[in-house]
Amino acid sequence: MVVDYLLSVFDYAGTLAFAISGALAAARKRFDLFGGVFLGFVTAIGGGTLRDMMLNIPVAWLHDIWYFYIVVFGVVFTFLFRKYIEKYSKTLFLFDTIGISVFTIIGMQKGLALDIHPILSVMMGILTAVFGGIVRDLMCVDIPLIFRREIYATACLIGGCVYLIMNLLSCPEFISIIVAAIVIFVVRTVSVIKNWSLPHFK
């Protein structure tokens, strides 16, 4: 019960974070309010939609109106208070990082619940985390973050592996979820601060 509640909170929090992330991207490209809502919605539900379709399960946001309410709230909030939000540098980065931290674990949980191989469940978590951001960046005619030199999907991979290891060690489920999400957030944040990157093609 506690784990289910925690996952629901994480899911809604990630949806809000990605909605704000999409709205900020729309603001920087000077989209109108409708464009901001559309981009926020695609960013927030893109990864989860693809995941659920691949797993052949009901698409979550089609059966829970709160996803729609949360996205609209996040976009309108950003539209009204963008000047205050953007006073803080790296705001888009912050909400994007919260989103991938949360959605990686959500995606893994759904994969493991359907007896998907643990390694493939990690990949499912990564897909859930990054796909919405890919669509957002493509719609804004930017190079998606996952294809840039900075650490992005790798942070999701590390956090996913931490989650699997803690499960193998029989750690309490809610602790594994929280620790893995924090690991993703920290790895992503530190990699940007320290300018870490993977080897790249020349």
pLDDT at 90: 65
**What are the domain boundaries of the chain?**
2-193
pLDDT at 199: 74
Per-block mean pLDDT, blocks of 10 residues, the chain (202 long): 80 92 90 92 95 94 95 92 72 84 94 93 95 93 82 93 94 92 94 81 68
CA 184 to CA 190: how far, in whole Å?
10
The pTM of this model reads: 0.88
How many other C-beta atoms lie within 10 A of the C-beta of residue 72? 14
What are the structure tokens assigned to 128, written together?
A: 């859930």
pLDDT at 94: 81
The DSSP code sequence of 70-101 is: HHHHHHHHHHHHHHHHTTSTTHHHHHHHHHHH
Residues 6+ away with beta carbon under 8 Å from 64: none
pLDDT at 202: 66
pLDDT at 177: 92
pLDDT at 49: 96
